[in-house]
Amino acid sequence: MMITSHSKAAAAALSAAALLTGAAIAGDSCCKDGSCAKKDEAPNFPGLTGDWGGVRSTLKEHGYEINASYTAELFGNVKGGMRRSAVFDGLLKMSLDVNLEKAVGWSDATFRISGLYPHGTSGTLRNVGDKSIFSNIDAFDTYRLVDFWVEQKFAEGKLALKVGQMRVDDEFGVTDSAALFINSTFGVPNPPYTAMPIADYPVGGLGIRLRVEPLEGLYGMAGIYDGNPSSGDFADPSNGQIGGAARHGTDWALRKSEGTLYTGEVGYQRSNCAYPGAVRAGFLRHTDDFADVSGNGNQHSSSTSSYFVIDQMVWQKAPKSTEGLSTFLRGTMAPKGSSPMDNTIQAGVVYTGLATSDDKVGLAYARNKFSPHQSDSAGNSLNREAITELSYQIPVQPYLRVQPDLQYISHPGGSSLNNNAWVIGVRAILDF
Lowest mean pLDDT among 265-274, 280-289, 305-314: 265-274
Residue 319: the pLDDT is: 82
Q: What CA–CA distances, in Å, run from 189 to 45, 172, 199, 263, 430?
A: 32, 6, 11, 10, 27
Highest mean pLDDT among 46-50, 382-386, 415-419: 382-386
Domain ranges of the chain: 20-30+57-431
> Rounded to an integer, what distance in angstroms lies between the CA atom of residue 292 and that of residue 213?
39
- Averaged over 307-321, what is the pLDDT? 93
> Rounded to an integer, what distance in angstroms lies between the CA atom of residue 273 and that of residue 275?
6
- Averaged over 2-28, what is the pLDDT? 36
> ∠ CA 154-160-161 to the nearest 5 degrees?
115
Residue 169, pLDDT > 80, answer yes
Query: Residue 404's CB: how many other CB atoms inside 10 A?
Result: 13
Strand partners, 95: 67, 114
Query: Residue 276's CB: how many other CB atoms inside 10 A?
Result: 23
Question: Which band of pLDDT confidence, cut at 50, 70 and 90, is reported for residue 9?
Answer: very low
Q: Specify burial of residue 387 (Cβ count, 10 A radius: 0-12, 13-18, 19+).
A: buried
Residue 262, pLDDT > 90, answer yes
> Rounded to an integer, what distance in angstroms lies between the CA atom of residue 82 and that of residue 412?
9
Q: What is the DSSP letter of 331?
A: E
Asked whether 404 and 389 are in contact (CB, 8 A), the reply is: no
Strand partners, 431: 69
> Rounded to an integer, what distance in angstroms lies between the CA atom of residue 382 and that of residue 336?
13
Half-sphere exposure of 21 (CA within 13 A, CB side): 0
- Report the percent of the chain where pLDDT is more than 70: 90
Residue 22, pLDDT > 60, answer no
Question: Which band of pLDDT confidence, cut at 50, 70 and 90, is reported for residue 46?
Answer: confident
Residue 42, pLDDT > 60, answer no
Residue 416: the pLDDT is: 85
- Averaged over 395-422, what is the pLDDT? 95
Query: Residue 12's CB: how many other CB atoms inside 10 A?
Result: 7
Q: What is the mean pLDDT of the chain?
A: 90
Asked whether 263 and 172 are in contact (CB, 8 A), the reply is: yes
Residue 6: the pLDDT is: 38
Q: Which CATH superfamily is domain 20-30+57-431 in?
A: Carbohydrate-selective porin OprB (2.40.160.180)
Half-sphere exposure of 249 (CA within 13 A, CB side): 26
> Rounded to an integer, what distance in angstroms lies between the CA atom of residue 376 and that of residue 129?
12
Give the 3-state DSSP-derived string for 143-184, with helices as H, strands as E and coil as C. CEEEEEEEEEEEHHHCEEEEEEEECHHHCCCCCHHHHHCCCH
